[in-house]
Structure 1
Amino acid sequence: MLRLAIGIGDHMLHFATQTWITSFSPKDRLGRNISLYGLFFGLGFAAGPLMTGFLKVNTTLPFIISSAISLAAWLTVWLLKNERPEHDSDSSSFFGTMKRFGKVFKYAWVAFLPPFGYGFLEASLNGNFPVYAMRSGIGVDAVALLLPAFAIGGILSQLPLGILSDKLGRRNVLLVVTLAGFISFTAAGLLENSTTGLLICFFIAGTVVGSTFSLGISYMADLLPKQLLPAGNLMCGIFFSFGSISGPFIGGLAIQWLKGISFFYVISTMLLLIFIALVAVRHEGSTQQANSV
């Protein structure tokens, strides 16, 4: 029950934060602002597992520290002005809500694929990769290096890629990073007997695809008018959750049934499919079309 409550609160927190940033950021700084959000998101994920070291001191200490950080964040929220994003006039009814979500999916569905891919990728690496590594003869020490290498790569590239997306466009940057991620994980599948090779591949992969979540949110904000951003951000979170749920499931099936085929090919295939979708779908003028509907 506690984990369920934390999950609900966590999703509400991300939804509110993303909607706030996308609703009130100027277009020429949206990528930068969302990338800062993604940067701290990544720092939290990287720092969280370090809490297990406090178990040696006291088994309750990680929970006490986490609750103290949450309390500090809650107190700072009282210093902020309460902003209200634009919303549709028909959003109060059930059918109006369904219409709004249908409109969001129609014009921005391709932007939900990068958050889905990031959730799939992150959950698969953290959940499936240690199991696959043990079965493949990759040592515990190597796993302890590889996963942080991916996280560090994502942290280092968040802000530069966000700024670059403001200059070159979100879709163009997403095309490059998903293709580079596909190549990186394909190379990891070919070099999985080399710890050094895997370390390089993981770092490069983290550098390019570690920003797909924040880039996907920025791309969604480009495709939708402001009154649809709350629904769009909610769907970004839903697709991220879908990825987090399906990633370990599909990865586990691949490890169990696809003997002789590298686990990394599952991730690279997923990234390739997202790249193909981005290439195939063009959404120029979607915001104007959505406004006119």
Structure 2
Amino acid sequence: LWDMTWEIVRTEGASNDWYHGEGGNNIALSLVVEALKLQPCLPGFVDGRDAIIQADEQLYGGKHLYAIWKAFSRRGLGAGAQEKSPFTVLDGIANFDMPENFKTKIELLQARDSIHQVNVTWRTIAEYDNDHFVLDRKSSTGGYVEIARLTGFLFDVKGRDLRVPDTDVQTGQHYRYRLSSVDSKGLSTVLDYTDVYVIPVEDLVAYPNPVNNGQVNIRISTSIQSPVEINLYGVDGRRYLHQEFADPSLLYTAYPLEIGAISSGTYFIQMIYADEVVSQKIQVIQ
């Protein structure tokens, strides 16, 4: 209970007012008093822990569950602990594991090709005892190499967006990225993987090819500095799309072209700039 009190004080602060204060010490005392009313007759250690958890859910909407579980699991009353008979302290089974829902979680791990570098991004859902993130990269010819280490949060449920630019890449290569969370004890847990292909760009590139979702990405070389005109033609010479870009830098990274529900077949993306005309053939599959 002493550990639990300080875990809650760590996030809620402390108060010198024992009667009307709202600090972590006041909260811990309220939880213990309420748990005494909720626990069964002849309670054991696990019964007492569960009663405190129930008290927090009733009084504070479960706001302090992480602090409670952290304190109890550190003392052997983790998620898998068993108390058995309440008449002896010798037959219990200790467990130091936190519940699965108190694991660091992320979403939307993505790696995107962007002008001779790859931008790796992700969003956290929650961080629990996350000392730091580790991002590793693996090429098609080698093993994983650490490329970044970002400071984590010991407790955060608001979520945040993180980004790592990786400039040590080569065009025409496939890379896999691995994101891990390392806790305060040094234990590493892999959170997710993502892959990317760094597309070589000469003048114009269109991908994916074939196209099957009504959208194709285009990129142009950064050497093109003049306004650009993009057209989409069918083999019959009919123009299905026309867009003009006064600022060619909009096309230096992947730019999505909505080509709509056109029929399956062969088409040509045409780029006109200065006195040059460049075409890229694509296949559409509906």
Q: TM-score, normalised by structure 1?
A: 0.19
Which structure shows the higher strand fraction? 2
Task: Specify which structure has the higher proportion of helix.
Answer: 1
Bigger RCO of structures 1 and 2 (CA < 8 A, at least 6 apart): 1
Greater gyration radius: 2
